[in-house]
Amino acid sequence: DMDAFYASVELRRHPELAGLPVVVGHPGSRSVVLAATYEARAFGVHSAMPMMQAMRRCAGLVAVPPDHAAYAEASREVMAVLRAVTPEVEPLSLDEAFLDVSGAVRRLGSPREIASHIRSRIRDEQQLPCSIGVASTKFVAKLASARSKPDGLLVIPRESVLAFLHPLPIGALWGVGDKTEAALTAIGLHKIGDIAATPVSTLVHTLGKAAGMQLHALANGQDPRRVSPDEPDRSI
């Protein structure tokens, strides 16, 4: 998962802005923030925030107009690095992808070594930071990448999945938005471990069959989905 991707690409193009609070977006009253550096996030600025609100939160904020062609080209460069490791690459968007590296272990080393290799190549060749989560399932790998930001690497061994998951808030689970979180909190569930310990029948009664069964499986570290390299990009 690339860190603050649009903003990082702009910093690569404008190194004089390094260390400053920077956002990508048109500096107009009707614009929104497309990406924010971590210096800007320290002021509470985040993507999808109205630009005027971001400017009020951070007086020294620098707004850079977006260049989508540059972001698409940077994405192609990054995906080329990933596909040099394994053909089993499933892009989620311009700046994020799942990899199944099981076939690359003999050639490139352990999953941790492969992740370190990827981060080093992207840093050296594209001058861009990224965060990587390594786990036995897509869900846990995705969660680990989020917990390792910015510019980090987190490996969750198979035997440590539940110890990693269960202390986390229920909002960390895929599929738990505001309404679902409110429904789960109303029946006394606050941590992922609470969901794992709750009978499936209770979750199904509260959320419906599909959502209840899915969240119970995820809370117990179960995610059978495979990396699908033929999946199209989900968003731009």
Q: Which of 96, 125, 181, 231 is catalytic?
A: 96
Pick the closest to residue 57 from 83, 91, 89, 33 (CA basis). 33
Pick the closest to residue 126 from 62, 67, 63, 79 (CA basis). 79
Phi/psi of residue 140, each to 5°? -70, -35
Give the Cα separation of 158 and 142 in Å (integer): 14
Give the Cα separation of 110 and 8 in Å (integer): 28
- Give me the count of residues in the chain: 236
Which amino acid makes up residue 154?
L
Name the residue with tokens 């731009």: 236
Specify whether 96 is catalytic.
Answer: yes
Q: Helix, strand, or coil here: 191?
A: strand
Give the Cα separation of 209 and 18 in Å (integer): 49
Give the Cα separation of 43 and 233 in Å (integer): 32
Cβ count within 10 A of residue 236: 9
Query: What is the Rg, in whole angstroms, of the alpha carbon atoms belonging to the chain?
Result: 19
Q: How many helices (H) and strands (E) does the chain have?
A: 12, 7
Which active-site residues does the annotation give?
Answer: 96
